[in-house]
Amino acid sequence: MKGTAKAHTNIALIKYWGKRNEKLILPTNSSLSVTLDGLHTETTVQFREDLQEDVFVLDNKEVTGVAYDRVTNYLDLFRHYANKQGVFAEVTSTNNVPTAAGFASSASGFAALAGATSKALDLQLSDEDLSRFTRQGSGSACRSIYGGFVEWQMGERDDGQDSFAVQVAPQDHWDIRVAAVVLTAEEKDVSSRVGMRRTVETSVFYDGWLQSLPKDMETIKEGIRDKDFEMVGKVAEANCLKMHATTFGATPPFTYWQDTTMSLMQTVQNLRKKEIPAYFTIDAGPNVKVIYLPEYEKEVLRTLEAARGVEKVIVSKVGAGISYK
């Protein structure tokens, strides 16, 4: 009744931004990400007959409150599926992703939790099934089951059976780099959950966002297949800006950006003026991720580290999928 799994976080190049079903976590659009080797969560789940409730320990600290509730509610899904109601678990996680700062720690977190739980219960799930389960913990996490380049296919069904992630290209297909630029370690004001709901319900730009997505998806897949960095970078950066534009059109309007976020976007665009191909993307937080090719690493890192407001730069290669101990 014990399982351990390690999963990496992922960064979306085509963003998931909106749910059509909040309970099952079904998205309004398909999304595409790169799995990152630098940022991961390792989780052990042990179901124990002697426990009266679940216990969740993250980085050696016992977790209570909302984060605890999310984990224990999520374990209920598995208990229900495996007919183990009333059997509680000790969940122990270590995380090297700064929590709630736009780094999708929930992605590696829920992927590792789903993997470890399914091992602990010996469920023998296929990757597809595991991705479906993971989706219900945190949407973007369903892409972290696989390494390389991954698409979360939105699906159409109301029960979510056709909403899961698939690998588009394996880890060794293409050596691109992602620099995660930490501008602030503060907790964000508007969670992705709240931000998505507000934009879906109120943003005057939301329809434009949705309409532009099929073309972005087609272009990025072609770019990944052909290893056309400019094609991939351009569409990823534009997709990110469109996603963030929806927040300006919401009621009340909001943004995840800080002044240093915008100044870093300009720094990246200035790199291109010097013929250095680098593009940015940003999730539901102020931090910026920069994609570039390995041959430009020195120059890109030197520039990012010297930029205003930068606390830390974490470099990742394309990462592997979920693994077990």
When binding is defined by CB under 6 A, the residue of 79, 283, 303, 316 that contacts ligand PMV is 283
Using CB under 6 A as the binding criterion, the count of chain residues that bind ligand PMV stands at 14
Give the closest residue to 97 by CA, choosing from 144, 29, 129.
144
When binding is defined by CB under 6 A, the residue of 139, 223, 286, 319 that contacts ligand PMV is 139
Query: Does 146 contact ligand PMV by CB under 6 A?
Result: no
When binding is defined by CB under 6 A, the residue of 5, 7, 12, 300 that contacts ligand PMV is 12
Residue 4 or 283 having the CB closest to ligand PMV: 283
Answer for the pair 28, 21: CB distance below 8 angstroms, yes or no. no
Residue 17 or 206 having the CB closest to ligand PMV: 17
Q: Which stretch binds ligand PMV (CB under 6 A): 135-143, 219-227, 267-275, 313-321?
A: 135-143
Residue 104 or 304 having the CB closest to ligand PMV: 104
Contacts of 147 (CB under 8 A, 6+ apart): 8, 35, 167, 170, 171, 318, 319, 320, 321
CA dihedral 248, 199, 143, 184 (to 10 degrees): 40
Query: Does 104 contact ligand PMV by CB under 6 A?
Result: yes
Query: Does 16 contact ligand PMV by CB under 6 A?
Result: yes
When binding is defined by CB under 6 A, the residue of 4, 29, 30, 31 that contacts ligand PMV is 31
E strand intervals along the chain: 2-14, 19-21, 26-27, 31-48, 55-58, 61-62, 88-95, 149-153, 164-169, 177-182, 278-281, 288-292, 312-316, 323-324
Answer for the pair 163, 132: CB distance below 8 angstroms, yes or no. yes
**Scanning the structure block, which residue is given the tokens 């050696």?**
60
Query: Does 29 contact ligand PMV by CB under 6 A?
Result: no
Question: Which residue ranges make up the site for ligand PMV (CB under 6 A)?
Answer: 12, 15-17, 31, 104, 106, 138-140, 192-193, 283-284
